Amino acid sequence: MTVKAYGAHAGDRPLESLDIARRAPGPHDVQIEIAFCGVCHSDLHQVRGEWAGTLYPCVPGHEIVGTVSAVGAHVSKHQVGDLVGVGCMVDSCQGCADCEAGLENYCDHMVGTYNGPTSDAPGHTLGGYSQQIVVHERYVLRVSHAREQLASVAPLLCAGITTWSPLRHWQAGPGKTVGIVGIGGLGHMGIKLARALGAHVVAFTTSESKRRDAELLGAHEVVVSTDPAAMAAQAKRLDLIVNTVAAPHDLDAYLNLLKRDGTMVLVGAPSTPHPSPQVFNLIMKRRALAGSMIGGIPETQEMLDFCAEHGIVADIEMIRADEINAAYERMLAGDVKYRFVIDSATLAE
């Protein structure tokens, strides 16, 4: 089936309207009519060739929500009419230790929702800036939010799970002090989720103008990271830091804020490396510097269910598909609160 999409033919060319092919559903496939797709910073890096290995034409998008329109003969988890989501992956080997543990995101053969290998034309996956997608049922998530919240649910499929996974793995909750660095697409979800989990939340921003916003999102404290006195006041206070910033910066400034045995987890992915931290900032307090990448299917479903139960969605700005190039420039300038979401109905126009 041919459907409308938005993508690019080269890293130095703007995104434009494309016609792409989608396979007919196989026995274990779910066909989804996409209602909304969130716009992730990763989309920009990938489509512009800033990360190695971009395959063109590139159709980005891995924060997908919509309605099931068809299912294969052996599909048991979903039925026509269900509200569902698809995140950052659409396949994996399904047999390794990572897959068996429900951590398909760490499978060596994980297939991304776009720019991953597939037997479908054109030989690599095409993402959610499109009218429709067909995905194996294992990688399709149930959405329990109200239909009118669907657009704001879309960013949970990347921004939500990217912050949820480290918060859960490092046991954020009552009695823990958690820092969230950066108040953007990822960071605003990190604040909401850490607060809902019961942690004491300290938000870090370079902008005094974001103080009130961070408080409204749920931060108990807000620190302007360019203020040396304010940063010094947080020294050795934090159990966990989730660092969402997708640009190179001084990690030592934040490592100093960790307690003994505290951990800073990097989830932002800059296009060039961070400066190396000082080893003594790690060894003197047995601190850890770690990384985390999205989450497995079971924990993504757990996150969606938790958010539905607690009324948590992303703060979004809706755009038309033909506004995506301008949205990318605004995203680079930090001019969005806090996630752009494409109204997929505009693809047909």
Q: What is the pLDDT of residues 29-63, one digit of tens each?
A: 999 999 999 999 999 999 999 888 999 999 999 99
**What would the mean pLDDT of 71-97 be, rounded to a whole number?**
97
pLDDT beyond 90 at 246:
no
Tell me how far apart the alpha carbons of residues 231 and 44 are, in angstroms, rounded to a whole number. Answer: 31
Are 129 and 60 in contact by the 8 Å Cβ rule? The answer is: yes
On whether the CB atoms of residues 197 and 173 are closer than 8 A, the answer is yes
Q: Per-residue pLDDT averaged across 317-333, rounded?
A: 96
Q: Give me the half-sphere count of Cα atoms (radius 13 Å) on the Cβ side of residue 323.
A: 14
* Mean pLDDT in residue range 53-81: 97
The phi and psi torsions of 29 (rounded to 5 degrees) equal -95, 155
pLDDT attached to residue 60: 98
Whether pLDDT at 19 is above 90? yes
Q: Please report the pLDDT score of residue 227 as a whole number.
A: 96
Over residues 220-248, the mean pLDDT reads: 96
The pLDDT-based confidence of 71 (bands split at 50, 70, 90) is very high
107, 92 contact by CB (below 8 A): yes
Q: Under a CB-based contact definition with an 8 Å cutoff, are residues 162 and 186 in contact?
A: yes
**Per-residue confidence (pLDDT) for residue 86, from 0 to 100:** 98
Sheet strands (E) in 189-296: 200-205, 221-224, 238-243, 258-266, 288-291
With 90 as the cut, is the pLDDT of residue 254 above it? yes
The closest alpha carbon to 258, from 224, 215, 288, 225, belongs to 288
Query: pLDDT at residue 21 above 90?
Result: yes
Cα dihedral 210, 212, 217, 223, rounded to 10, equals 60
d(CA 244, CA 188): 10
- Check whether 144 has a pLDDT greater than 90: yes
Question: Which pLDDT does position 269 carry in this prediction?
Answer: 86
Average pLDDT for residues 159-177, to the nearest whole number? 98
Residue 316 pLDDT level (bands cut at 50, 70, 90): very high
**pLDDT given for residue 271 in this prediction:** 78
d(CA 215, CA 237) in angstroms, rounded, equals 19
- pLDDT tens digits along 264-295: 999 998 878 999 999 999 999 999 999 999 99
- Cα 129 to Cα 44: distance, rounded to the nearest angstrom: 12
CA gap 38, 186 in Å, rounded: 12
Three-state SS for 7? strand
Mean pLDDT of the chain, nearest integer: 96
